[in-house]
Amino acid sequence: MRAEVDRIAEPWGGRTPYGPDTQWPARVDSFLEPGVTADGVERWVQTASLLHSNGDAMDLAVADGRIVGVRGRPQDRVNRGRLGPKDLFAWQANHSRDRLTTPLIREGGRLVACDWDTAMDRIVDRSQQLLRERGPGSVGFYTSGQLFLEEYYTLAVIARAGIGTNHLDGNTRLCTATAAEALKETFGCDGQPASYTDVDHADVIALFGHNMAETQPVLWMRVLDRLAGGEAPRLVCVDPRPTPAARHASVHLAPRAGTNLALLNALQHEIIRTGRIDHGFIDAHTVGFHELAAGVADCTPDWASRICDVPARRISEAAEILGGAERLLSTVLQGVYQSHQATAAACQVNNLQLIRGMLGRPGCGVLQMNGQPTAQNTRECGANGDLPGFRNWENDTHVADLARVWNVEPSRIPHYAPPTPAMQIFRYAEQGSIRMLWISGTNPAVSLPELDRIRSILGQERLFTVVQDLYLTETAQLADVVLPAATWGEKTGTFTNADRTVHLSDKAVDPPGDARPDLDILLDYAGRMDFRDKDDRPLVPWHDAESAFEAWKECSRGRPCDYTGLTYERLRGASGIQWPCTREAPEGTERLYTDGITWAAPGTCETYGRDLITGASVSETEYRALNPNGRAVLKAAEYLPPHETTDDAYPLQLNTGRTLYHFHTRTKTGRTPQLNAAAPEVWVELSAGEALRHGVEEGDLVEVTNPRGSVRGRLRITGIRDGMLFLPFHYGYWDTPEGDHPGKDGGRAANETTVTDWDPVSKQPLFKTAAARLTLVERAEGTLCPAPTTTASAPVDPRSVPPTTGGPPAIAHQTVASTECDRR
């Protein structure tokens, strides 16, 4: 293996092949800024990656009070020392000169600098006025998937028991709401059944709408190393784009957008028809099989082929592989979660695992993936539409138990209706019932659908908006108060990845100027608001990250996500640890459901569920009748066509998504030289056939239009399915002259064109099923399309454009290490 690799040109680095049922070899990746050598590093400070959900463990190199580089932690179970391109380079965004360093308040229409007292007094005055005049429902909070566990928990206590509002949600609603909902619908409770170590054992890995190579590059390295070793697993990939996983797949299915459910019903039809089901497992651990079998009885591959525009033969081949697997691992992400009938489709992946009896054993399980680094924590801590500790808002015993933990009356915790999802929070703000919206660590002015509408909501005079962030984002530019936040590396806390591994992130350096950790800001607010418990003691008695973690442990005690066996001390130095971690399971829990389904009983489940088609709630009585013994629920759902369909005016399906080199709205990756150079500007992807039909060519400037707005970008001709165009959603306006909105030449943000629509069950917005048309603006005349060539946006003709490389600034080191993993 080469010691030095351009990690922009070769994002996944060198191979360390390994066979089934053996430990993934360690490989330590590192990158130090030019001029710094290992000898010049004064301290290494433990943390994990912040720009995706994989939880890659790493150390930050510190010299002269600055972060100067990173290296992977080989003893960690998640990454065994490897780092992805964003892990290697994106810490440089912490140093950006345009970091916010003082609070800002709006005066005479302009944001002006002020001190913390002035900014916090303004927020407290408005909060108290609204509570007096309009009640707790006039205040809403919209947070992120990038704060720390301690911060979400504190926010949940403040919002739910301090203010007493139901309006608290995270941008994880855009990202992992369907993952949570699908797990709750099937298993009665959130919590990832599988483990990353299942990659080490699986003989078939199925990826449903999951571009793993770009969203979890280090997990993809694990798969690549299995593919390079003996007895390699076979891959089944469902994705309309030619992702790296699709290129390695034994069967790649590229369905029409919005038809996942039809495809999954046909796969189940074939598996049941050919008798490749585990009757013993189904009888012992599930309910609903007969309804499911009846529901998919007519869903033949021919039927699905007509809906999905995928050859029936290929559907049968995929079913053959899935049905013949001895150890099947399935993973799911945005191709399902942000598409039509999202939860219904994600539940069918759970069904597939269950009818095949593929659960709770090495190599067998499902990863309903997360996208953001701390998305799991928003869900656990009750900052994402749930009560903390996966408590059921409809179960009075659960609410009373939470009230006991917080020492408040149960009536203080709003549970008259489900916690409000993000799209509804913005609707209430639009209608005027929400008058104060506190937005932390997220940028809805670029990331929510139909941006023209979102800008008009945020720009309302009557809405008091607080934005807590690192930079003057498009959203911050519209705020009434802007609070400068510290980020990862500048504060201490914990976070949990997509396979339940908890990592500690220690403070390495001071934040710039007067920026403060989000936890400190929230504690300051709680103190100024003087929130009290029922004995007139402070409602939020903790004072720092570790004491907040200890408080959270008590809230999690006896719950599925039990953290009581963890301490900061245990998390320092060794590998991360998977929850539940208790006195009985001090090393954590590698897989859930090894002894049957644990949390689905009516008295313990997190939800009684919903109808997968309409989203209507299942009542407690109905759930008790359906599932008295707390088994997994096999839920069937009928395919229905997407709401927005193509027509003569808008003949193309519009798909949006991400690229390997960026994260979200580019606030950090756009300030990272290597990453920004790899994908500097928005582009449009189209198949060769569609390009011919539209008379456009590689590099042409084209416009994507529909009734909601338009986006301009250069054309990349790829292997994407015919009839579909793709826009990356990362690009906004903070680095354009306009700052927070499109210029006269058209938009740059994909969400100018996406639709205000959401899944009826998970309330996750749909970013993949709109319709649009494409027109030529000007010929390329030698101008190149800025899309990377190393990813799903690779050109069909590799000689047509120069390959994406990073050159000397992107050279990182990789070394094979003999270190053992601290925990499997």
Cβ 669 to ligand SF4 shortest distance, Å: 11
Min dist CB 209 to ligand SF4, Å, is 11
What residues between 199 and 218 interact with ligand SF4 by CB under 6 A? 215
Give the ranges where 530-672 is alpha helix by DSSP (H). 545-556, 568-571, 620-626
Alpha-helix residue ranges (DSSP H) falling in 666-774: 673-678, 688-694
Which of 559/658 has CB closer to ligand SF4?
658
Compute the least distance from the CB of residue 474 to ligand SF4, in Å: 16
What three-state secondary structure class fits 480?
Answer: coil
Q: Which is nearer to ligand SF4, 174 or 761 (CB)?
A: 174
Beta-bridged to residue 398, according to DSSP, are none
- What is the closest distance, in whole angstroms, from the C-beta atom of residue 650 to ligand SF4 in the complex? 24
CB of 658 to ligand SF4, least distance (A): 4
Q: Which is nearer to ligand SF4, 492 or 667 (CB)?
A: 667
Number of H helices, E strands in the chain: 25, 29
Mark 637-676 with x for binding to ligand SF4 (rule: CB under 6 A) and - for no binding: ---------------------x-----x------------
CB of 642 to ligand SF4, least distance (A): 20
Least Cα distance to 439 among 11, 147, 91 occurs for: 147
Q: Provide DSSP, 257-268.
A: TT-HHHHHHHHH
Which CB, 46 or 447, lies closer to ligand SF4?
447
Strand partners, 469: 484
Residue 371 interacts with ligand SF4 (CB under 6 A)?
A: yes
Scanning residues 460 to 479, which ones bind ligand SF4 (CB under 6 A)? Answer: none
**Could you tell me the smallest distance in angstroms from the CB atom of residue 729 to ligand SF4?**
8
Interface mask toward ligand SF4 for 154-193; x: CB under 6 A: --------------------xx------------------
Provide the mask over 45-74, with x wherever binding to ligand SF4 is found by CB under 6 A and - wherever it is not: ------------------------------
In sequence order, what are the residues at sequence separation of 6 or more whose Cβ sits closer than 8 angstroms to the Cβ of residue 703?
A: 710, 711, 712, 746, 774, 775, 777
**140 touches ligand SF4 by CB under 6 A:** no
Q: Cβ 605 to ligand SF4, closest distance in Å? A: 26
The DSSP annotation for 386-438 comes to SBGGGB-TT-HHHHHHHHHHHTS-GGGS--SSPPPPHHHHHHHHHHTS--EEE
Answer whether 373's CB lies under 8 Å from 47's CB: no
CB nearer to ligand SF4: give 375 or 724.
375
Q: Are strands 811-817 and 4-6 parallel, antiparallel or unpaired?
A: antiparallel
**Nearest CB to ligand SF4, comparing residues 318 and 423:** 423
Q: Give the footprint of ligand SF4 on residues 539-568 (CB under 6 A).
A: none
Strands 701-706 and 709-718: antiparallel
| Cα–Cα distance for residue pair 353/356, rounded to 1 Å | 5
Residue type for 236, please?
V
**Amino acid of residue 286:** T
CA dist 528 and 523 (Å) reads 9
Show Cβ contacts of residue 586 under 8 Å, excluding neighbours closer than 6 positions: 565
- ω into 586 cis (within 30 of 0): no
Pull the structure tokens for residue 704: 């994507």
Q: How far is the CB of 9 from ligand SF4 (least distance, A)?
A: 23
Measured from the CB atom, the residue of 215 and 339 that comes closer to ligand SF4 is: 215
Q: Which is nearer to ligand SF4, 334 or 378 (CB)?
A: 334
Burial class from Cβ neighbours inside 10 Å (0-12, 13-18, 19+) for residue 110 reads: exposed
What mask, x for binding ligand SF4 by CB under 6 A, covers residues 280 to 319?
----------------------------------------
Output 372 or 501, the one with its CB closest to ligand SF4: 372
Give me the phi and psi of 747, to 5 degrees please. -80, 165
Residue 215 or 341 having the CB closest to ligand SF4: 215
Q: Nearest approach, Cβ of 598 to ligand SF4 (angstroms)?
A: 27
Q: What is the 3-state secondary structure (H, E, C) of 497-547?
A: CCCCEEEEECCCCCCCCCCECHHHHHHHHHHHHCCECCCCCECCCCCCHHH
Compute the least distance from the CB of residue 266 to ligand SF4, in Å.
26
**d(C-alpha 434, C-alpha 383), whole Å:** 18
Residues 215-234 that bind ligand SF4 (CB under 6 A): 215
Q: Tell me the closest approach of the beta carbon of residue 431 to ligand SF4, in angstroms.
A: 26
Among positions 372, 384, 589, 769, the unique one binding ligand SF4 when judged by CB under 6 A: 372
Smallest separation (angstroms) from ligand SF4 to the CB of 331: 12
CA distance 4 to 806: 13
Shortest distance (Å) from residue 657 CB to ligand SF4: 8
Contacts of 223 (CB under 8 A, 6+ apart): 199, 205, 212, 233, 235, 245, 248
Nearer to ligand SF4, 223 or 322 (CB): 223
- How many residues make up the chain in this entry? 824
Cα–Cα dist 487/737, whole Å = 26
For ligand SF4, the binding residues in 783-802 under the rule CB under 6 A are none
The smaller minimum CB distance to ligand SF4, of residues 356 and 730, is found at: 730
| Residue closest to ligand SF4, measured at CB | 371
> Cβ closer to ligand SF4: 325 or 332?
332
Pick from 578, 559, 575: which is nearest to 498 by CA? 578
- Residues 760/765/767/769 CA torsion (nearest 10 deg): 20
Long-range pairs, 793-801, Cβ under 8 A, ≥24: 793/659, 793/683, 793/685, 793/716, 793/718, 793/726, 793/728, 794/242, 794/718, 794/719, 795/698, 795/716, 795/717, 795/718, 796/688, 796/717, 796/718, 796/719, 797/698, 797/717, 800/698, 800/717, 801/698, 801/699
- Compute how many residues bind ligand SF4; rule: CB under 6 A: 8
Q: Least distance in Å: CB of 595 to ligand SF4?
A: 32
Site for ligand SF4 in 316-355 (CB under 6 A): 334
Question: Looking at the DSSP assignment, which residues form a beta bridge with residue 496?
Answer: 502
User: Minimum distance between the CB of residue 42 and ligand SF4, rounded to whole angstroms?
Assistant: 33
Compare residues 341 and 372 and give the one whose CB is closer to ligand SF4. 372
* Binding positions for ligand SF4, rule: CB under 6 A: 174-175, 215, 334, 371-372, 658, 664
